[in-house]
Amino acid sequence: MSGIEFLRNEIFSRYGIVKRARGCFLYTAKGIRLADLYQEGGRAILGWGGASAFTMFKNILNRGITGSFETGFSCRTDKAVEKLFNSERRVFYYDSYEKALKASLLVSKDGTAAYRPWNPAGVAWSECDSIIFAPPLPYARSLFIVAAKKSLVSEDSIPVELLPEQTFIEAPMHASIARSIYDLVAAVQNRQEKDWFIYDPVVTKYWERKGPYLFPKIPENQYEKFVLHCLEKGLVISPVYNEPSIVPFGADAGVFSKLKSDPFVYTV
């Protein structure tokens, strides 16, 4: 059983189905509100619901252009990606991380990087040869994007034909992805350290915080018990040890009150 399946089953067994999701919260059939620190591995880092991105999806869906033909909407995504990384990019779409990584390494074996917004390492993304990232869109779980420098993908360098076959993206999803990336560009400017350190009195006991990302201090052999303990306290954290949890932007620090009053005891 994967970590995600484990988490899904444990949420259901305790709280029933999730009936609504908004911001960083999940609302369950049993009337319990859960603070989501997993956030679909970062795809819901801008919040559940998709906000303006979801509105864009519905607007284009109403036009009926959902078939496997060109509509011009891919250009919107290309421009959004170039805005995010402040550089000219050729954009490729894959339905698995493995395919995306293979493509990126073909473009540049030593210049491939995985994008994470608010990256504590301060990477100069505009200088990276090829970047792999997942769009900040909760309903695009199987999509990975490769943004390669245009100069590295041409007949004089790496022919496009040598890259893995791309997955086709319909117009409504393209429009939604583009909008979510523009929303991310804005959020990167607006969300700062002050929005994350307010939770430090509780979270730093269990995690090392780097920007909004929480890396566990809990030993790996005790982590599953910690996941369940947090779930009992109304917190949904990453079920995968090597995948960080995320500070719940927009939540009151009180969401950690139950964990604070009933701490998890672990041994190092």
- Whether residue 184 is found in the same domain as residue 220: no
> What are phi and psi for residue 105, nearest 5 degrees?
-70, -30
Q: Do 168 and 200 fall into the same domain?
A: no
Sheet (strand 25-28) strand order: 18-22, 25-28, 33-36, 235-236
Residue 231 lies in a domain: yes
List, in order, residues 6 or more apart from 168 with CB less than 8 Å away. 68, 93
Residues near 225 by beta carbon (within 8 Å), at least 6 away in sequence = 264
Q: Is residue 47 part of a domain?
A: no
Mean pLDDT across 250-267: 95
Asked whether residue 41 is assigned to any structural domain, the reply reads: no
Residue 66 shares a structural domain with residue 180: yes
CATH code for position 144: 3.40.640.10
Per the structure, the complete domain to which residue 180 belongs is given by 52-190
268 located within any domain? no
pLDDT at 208: 97
Q: Which pLDDT does position 155 carry in this prediction?
A: 67
Q: List phi, psi (to 5°) of 213.
A: -95, 140
> What is the domain count for the chain?
2
Per residue in 14-60, pLDDT (tens digit) is 999 999 999 999 999 999 999 999 999 999 999 997 678 888 888 98
Q: Is 90 exceeded by the pLDDT of residue 228?
A: yes
Which residues, in sequence order, are CB contacts of 246 under 8 Å at separation 6+? 37, 38, 39, 42, 45, 212, 213, 214, 238
User: Tens of pLDDT along 57-102?
Assistant: 889 889 999 888 888 888 999 999 999 999 999 999 999 999 999 9
Q: What confidence score (pLDDT) does residue 123 get? A: 82
pLDDT tens sequence across 121-177: 678 999 999 999 999 999 888 999 999 999 898 766 777 777 889 999 999 999 999
pLDDT value at residue 37: 98
Residues 106 and 158 in one domain: yes
Indicate whether 182 and 64 sit together in one domain: yes
| Residue 76 amino acid letter | R
